[in-house]
Amino acid sequence: MASDSTSAQTQQTSTQTQPTTSPSIASAIPIPSTDLSSPYYIHPNENPALVLVAPPLDGQNYHGWARAMRMALLSKNKLQFVDGSLLPPPSSDPIFPIWQRCNNLVQGWLMRSISPTIAMSILWFDTAHEIWNDLRSRFS
């Protein structure tokens, strides 16, 4: 009988000490780079070597080029990176590397859609938004 009560106590103790399973906060928050509607989502076919619009910006065709580029970026859900509506998060934010990856992708698209001479003049900008503003101020 003593072994039965010891067994019952052990069973009761073990059920009391087991942690309850509840979803963690991290698992409840969707990863934005896997959410198809997120500007952080990158389709497997998207890469920085893509040329989104033709002909490339040559300084004389800014308005048509900018319109075509806005349409292309909007279709890829990346317009926010050039229009300034998606600002970079603090570098300590866990989303920062994802933002940086997408920003670099958009910068690559801009670089590939601009004449080589103009591309060299924007190479050292840190954000796609800075590139966009520079091109607009110089060529519009």
**Per-residue model confidence as pLDDT tens digits over 84-136:** 999 999 999 999 999 999 999 999 999 999 999 999 999 999 999 999 999 99
Q: 70 or 12, which is more confident?
A: 70
Range list of H helices, 1-140 = 2-17, 25-28, 62-75, 80-83, 96-112, 116-122, 128-139
Model pTM score = 0.77
d(CA 14, CA 6): 12
Is residue 29 pLDDT above 70, yes or no? Answer: no
pLDDT value for 30: 59
